[in-house]
Amino acid sequence: MLVQTLFYFFVVTLFTLVQSGPVLFDRAFIKYGRHGKRQMVYDFHHIDNKTVPTDKHLIIVKTKTMEIIYTEAVRNLKNLQDLYLSNCGVQKIETKAFFNLPNLTVLHLEDNHIEELKKGVFNGLTVKILSLQRNEIKQIDGEAFDDMPLLFKIKLNSNRLKSWDSGWFKNTPRLTELYFRRNKLSYLPRSAFVNVKGSHLVDGISVVDTKIFLSKNKLGELVPESFYDLERISQLYLDRNNIQVVPDGAFRDLTDVDVIYLARNKISEINGNAFPKVRNIGILDLSSNLLECLPYGLVTVANVTNLEKNNGTCDCIKEFRAKLQEEKRSCEISYSEDLCTIT
194 or 208: CB nearest ligand NAG: 208
Question: Least Å distance between CB 330 and ligand NAG?
Answer: 7
135 or 313: CB nearest ligand NAG: 313
34 or 50: CB nearest ligand NAG: 50
Distance CA 111, CA 62 (A): 12
Distance set, CA 46 to CA 83, 104, 128, 166, 313 (Å) = 14, 16, 23, 35, 62
User: Binding string to ligand NAG for residues 116 to 155, with x set by CB under 6 A, is what?
Assistant: ----------------------------------------
Stretch that binds ligand NAG, among 6-14, 73-81, 160-168, 239-247 (CB under 6 A): 73-81
Stretch that binds ligand NAG, among 1-9, 12-20, 71-79, 138-146 (CB under 6 A): 71-79
50 or 323: CB nearest ligand NAG: 50
Three-state SS for 20-48 is CCCCCEEEEEEEECCCCCCEEEEEECCEC
The binder of ligand NAG chosen from 13, 311, 315, 322 (CB under 6 A): 311
* Cβ(293)–Cβ(268) below 8 Å: no
168 or 320: CB nearest ligand NAG: 320
**Stretch 281-310 residues interacting with ligand NAG (CB under 6 A):** 282, 303
Nearest to 36 by CA among 13, 16, 61, 14: 61
13 or 103: CB nearest ligand NAG: 103
DSSP structural state of residue 289: B
- The three-class DSSP label of residue 6 is helix
* Cβ(116)–Cβ(91) below 8 Å: no
DSSP structural state of residue 141: -
Stretch that binds ligand NAG, among 14-22, 76-84, 111-119, 133-141 (CB under 6 A): 76-84
Nearest to 72 by CA among 48, 92, 56, 41: 48
Torsion over CA: 17, 18, 21, 25 (sign): negative
The binder of ligand NAG chosen from 21, 102, 124, 272 (CB under 6 A): 102
* Cβ(44)–Cβ(28) below 8 Å: yes
**Stretch 231-260 residues interacting with ligand NAG (CB under 6 A):** 258
Q: Does 76 bind ligand NAG (CB under 6 A)?
A: yes
Distance CA 187, CA 226 (A): 9
The binder of ligand NAG chosen from 27, 50, 218, 266 (CB under 6 A): 50
The residues that touch ligand NAG, with contacts defined as CB under 6 A, are 49-50, 76, 78-79, 102-103, 258, 280, 282, 303, 311, 339
